[in-house]
Amino acid sequence: DAGVIQSPRHEVTEMGQEVTLRCKPISGHDYLFWYRQTMMRGLELLIYFNNNVPIDDSGMPEDRFSAKMPNASFSTLKIQPSEPRDSAVYFCASSRPGWSETQYFGPGTRLLVL
């Protein structure tokens, strides 16, 4: 299996621009998670889906952030408009059905907002 796939791997944009991050989970995994990692705040869970349905989005920083999962093999995290404080590494992870399965992380997207 190819593992969790994220694109782009690096993104540099200017403040105010829209940014879209993409994730393809491992086939057969029905949980999908979006995380943000920064030096100051560590790893934060932003939102997670089960069977394409958002279960908890309480970690989404504000209305500028939105996430979708239109089907089992694709999810997006969008930031509009982007701000410098959004600069971080964004990870997508997926896990098999069930409460007790570990998560498999993608390589991450390094976002820099100037």
Partner 1 sequence: ELKVEQNPLFLSMQEGKNYTIYCNYSTTSDRLYWYRQDPGKSLESLFVLLSNGAVKQEGRLMASLDTKARLSTLHITAAVHDLSATYFCAVDIRNTGNQFYFGTGTSLTVIP
Dihedral angle computed from the Cα positions of residues 102, 107, 108 and 114, in that order, rounded to the nearest 10 degrees: 160
Coil/strand/helix, residue 85: helix
> Which of 15, 101, 112, 114: binder of partner 1 (CB under 8 A)?
101
> Which of 19, 33, 60, 88: binder of partner 1 (CB under 8 A)?
33
Quick check: 93 binds partner 1 (CB under 8 A)? Answer: yes
Burial zone of 103 (CB within 10 Å; 0-12 exposed, 13-18 middle, 19+ buried): middle
The count of chain residues that interact with partner 1, using the rule CB under 8 A, is 22
Residues within the interface to partner 1 (CB under 8 A): 33, 35, 42-45, 48, 55-56, 58, 91, 93, 99-108
